[in-house]
Amino acid sequence: MNELTISLKSGNKMPLYEQIYAYIKEEIRKGTLKSGEKLPSTRALCRHLEVSRSTVELAYEQLLSEGYIEAQPYRGYFVSQIDGLYQIIQPKTEGKQGEKRDEKKYAYDFTPNGVDLKSFPYNTWRKLSKECLVDDRAELFRLGCPQGEYGLRSAISSYLHQARGVNCAPEQIIVGAGNDYLLMLLCAALGNSHRVAIENPTYRQAYRLFVNLSYEVCTVDMDGKGMRSDGLEKSGADIAFVMPSHHYPLGTVMPIKRRMELLKWAEEAEGRYIIEDDYDSEFRYKGKPIPALQGYDRGDKVIYIGTFSKSIAPAIRMSYMVLPRPVLELYRLRCGFINSTVSKVDQLILQKFIEDGYYERHLNKTRALYRSRHDTLLAVLKELAPDIRISGENAGVHLLLHFRDGRSEAELIRKAAEKGVKVYGLSEYYVDEAKNHIKTGGGSREKNGSKETVILLGYANMNEEKIKEAVTLLGEAWKKTRA
Tell me which stretch binds a second copy (CB under 8 A): 44-52, 102-110, 314-322, 401-409. 314-322
Q: Is 394 a binder of a second copy (CB under 8 A)?
A: yes
Tell me which stretch binds a second copy (CB under 8 A): 337-345, 364-372, 374-382, 434-442. 337-345
State in angstroms the smallest separation of the CB of 226 from a second copy.
10
In order of 155, 412, 461, the CA distances from 370 in angstroms are 25, 25, 9
Q: What single-letter amino acid sits at 234?
A: K
Kindly tell me which residue out of 32, 52, 71, 82 binds a second copy, with binding defined by CB under 8 A: 82
Q: Is 13 a binder of a second copy (CB under 8 A)?
A: no
Q: Is 229 a binder of a second copy (CB under 8 A)?
A: no
Q: Is 31 a binder of a second copy (CB under 8 A)?
A: no
Kindly tell me which residue out of 143, 269, 434, 483 binds a second copy, with binding defined by CB under 8 A: 143
State in angstroms the smallest separation of the CB of 385 from a second copy.
26
Q: Name, in order, each residue with C-beta under 8 angstroms of 314's C-beta and a sequence gap of 6 or more.
A: 115
Could you tell me the end-to-end alpha-carbon distance of the chain, in angstroms, rounded to an integer?
91
Nearest to 262 by CA among 251, 276, 250: 276
Question: Is 277 within 8 Å of 246 (Cβ atoms)?
Answer: no
Tell me which stretch binds a second copy (CB under 8 A): 42-50, 125-133, 408-416, 440-448. 125-133
Kindly tell me which residue out of 257, 365, 389, 480 binds a second copy, with binding defined by CB under 8 A: 257
Alpha carbons 356 and 412: distance in angstroms, whole number: 47
Locate all alpha helices (DSSP H) within 336-357, ordered by sequence: 344-355
In order of 383, 419, 423, the CA distances from 415 in angstroms are 20, 7, 10
Q: Is 170 a binder of a second copy (CB under 8 A)?
A: yes
Alpha carbons 382 and 398: distance in angstroms, whole number: 15
Site for a second copy in 190-219 (CB under 8 A): 191-192, 205, 208-209, 212-214
Tell me which stretch binds a second copy (CB under 8 A): 124-132, 268-276, 416-424, 442-450. 124-132
CA 41 vs. chain centroid, Å, equals 58
Site for a second copy in 411-470 (CB under 8 A): none
Q: Is 150 a binder of a second copy (CB under 8 A)?
A: yes
Q: Is 396 a binder of a second copy (CB under 8 A)?
A: no
Q: Is 19 a binder of a second copy (CB under 8 A)?
A: no
Q: Is 479 a binder of a second copy (CB under 8 A)?
A: no
The DSSP element (H or E) to which 44 belongs, if any, is: helix 42-49
Alpha carbons 196 and 210: distance in angstroms, whole number: 8
Q: Is 101 a binder of a second copy (CB under 8 A)?
A: no
Alpha carbons 282 and 278: distance in angstroms, whole number: 9
Specify burial of residue 324 (Cβ count, 10 A radius: 0-12, 13-18, 19+). Answer: buried
Q: Is 269 a binder of a second copy (CB under 8 A)?
A: no
Site for a second copy in 347-376 (CB under 8 A): none
